[in-house]
Amino acid sequence: MLRRVATDLSLGEAAQALTVSVDTLRRWDRSGKLRTTRDERNRRRVPAAEVERLSARPRRRRNASGEALSARNRLPGRVRSVEVDGVMGLVELEAGPFRLVAAVTRDAVEDLGLAPGVAATATVKATSVMLERGGE
């Protein structure tokens, strides 16, 4: 954590402490995410308390083994069906109003003990989402 400093930091010092760009801090200031002051030459100054506030990181979620996860989209539910053929399997999960189908290896099905009625959590982390027109 950042050492408490009694004075304000320059935009460059604050950006370095927060590991973001100066342009990012300017955007945050304009949008209200960052509270700045102005010095006698009208330069932005960042109070040390603001840097400390923005340095606080949310705790990562933990999986069943206690390891941190970066994924935020976790859908707990129950396995509806499991179809295994060769080295692959399809697992259908009912998570609230959602039904998800995951293609996983046979080893994963066996290692996790996936079977109808078993509680499981789908963790979704994707860099893109594709949509197809139709369905109504």
Q: How far is C-alpha 13 from the geometric centre of its chain's CA atoms?
A: 27
Domain 69-124 fold is OB fold (Dihydrolipoamide Acetyltransferase, E2P) (2.40.50)
Confidence of residue 76 (pLDDT cuts 50, 70, 90): confident
pLDDT of residue 131: 61
**Its pTM surpasses 0.75:** no
Q: How far apart are CA 136 and CA 124, in angstroms?
A: 25
Asked if 95 and 113 touch (Cβ cutoff 8 Å), the reply is no
**Residue ranges of domains in the chain:** 9-55, 69-124
CATH classification for the domain delimited by 9-55, as one of 3.30.420.40, 1.10.1660.10, 3.30.365.10, 3.40.250.10: 1.10.1660.10
In 3D space, the residue among 72, 71, 84, 136 whose CA is nearest the CA of residue 114 turns out to be: 84
Q: Please determine, for residue 9, whether its predicted confidence score (pLDDT) is greater than 70.
A: yes
